[in-house]
Amino acid sequence: MARSVIVTGGFGILGAAVAAAFARTGDKVARIDFAPEARDPLVGALDIGGVDLTDAAATQAALDRVAAAHGGIDVLVNVAGGFTWETLEGGSLASWARMQAMNLTTAATITQLALPQLKASAAGRIISIGAGAAVKAGMGMGAYAASKSGVHRLTEALAEELAGTRVTVNAILPSIIDTPTNRADMPDADFTTWVQPEAIADVIAFLASDAGRAVTGALIPVTRGG
């Protein structure tokens, strides 16, 4: 039976790869994004653009559209987020609030509002994108790592909260993801060591599958290139 899958940040490079992976297996996919429209179409997907996931009312409206169109919500993949590199001395304190909003508040908001639908599912799944860089923050990574560390703690706490339900909660901790933006920002790097978006999508697909039913509260490093 086809599942109802939501991918936030679904118009971006990683979100699009994750959404496409679920679509290939016949699932009903909804891509929700802050951007007004997707750069690349995904056949059969329900695309909902222009959604501020820190806004509870806007997020609820998007969830209601998905539930009505796809008959509920079975899988929520929290990809939406952002990145900044700046030192504390040379940076802006506003960046800390911005990273918190983009990376943690977005995930917490849609996850809380989707819980009734996910708990009603025969096998609800919540999978978020954390960061390997949040395990130990390097110079300039403070604001970003703090927000992604929040995603890790949200994952662990919510997994315990939902232990008596059929919902699992996990997070992926990628190293550097091979995207056009990262290549432009780090042109001298060895791209072969970077993680492919499709490889991350494969791990997410496993966690969302019946085979991943016993895994919850896990922070899973995904670091291998090639």
Query: Can you give the pLDDT at residue 225?
Result: 87
Tell me, what CATH number does 105's domain have?
A: 3.40.50.720
Q: Which two tokens stand for residue 154?
A: 């949200």
Query: Can you give the pLDDT at residue 132?
Result: 97
Q: Is the dihedral of CA 193, 194, 196, 202 positive or negative?
A: positive
Calculate mean pLDDT across residues 122-138. Answer: 98
Residue percentage of the chain with pLDDT more than 70: 100
137: exposed, middle or buried (C-beta count within 10 Å: 0-12, 13-18, 19+)?
middle
181 DSSP 8-state letter: H
Residue 27 has pLDDT above 90, yes or no: yes
Residue percentage of the chain with pLDDT more than 90: 99
Selection from 155, 113, 125, 108 nearest residue 27 by Cα: 125
Query: Can you give the pLDDT at residue 115?
Result: 98
Query: Can you give the pLDDT at residue 1?
Result: 83
| Enclosing domain of residue 77 | 4-222
Query: Can you give the pLDDT at residue 4?
Result: 98
Q: Is 144 annotated in the active site?
A: yes
Query: Can you give the pLDDT at residue 56?
Result: 98
Mean of the per-residue pLDDT values of the chain: 97
Calculate mean pLDDT across residues 154-178. Answer: 97
Tell me the per-residue pLDDT of 48-93, one tens digit each, with 9 for 90 and over.
999 999 999 999 999 999 999 999 999 999 999 999 999 999 999 9
CB under 8 Å to 226, separation ≥6 — which residues?
A: 192, 196
User: What is the pairing mode between strands 28-32 and 46-48?
Assistant: parallel
| Cβ proximity of 13 and 179 under 8 Å | yes
Of the residues 11, 22, 96, 144, which is catalytic?
144
Residue 226 has pLDDT above 80, yes or no: no
Q: Which two tokens stand for residue 64?
A: 């209601």
Beta bridge partners of 30: 6, 46
Number of domains observed in the structure of the chain: 1
Query: Can you give the pLDDT at residue 197?
Result: 97
| Residues in the chain, overall count | 226
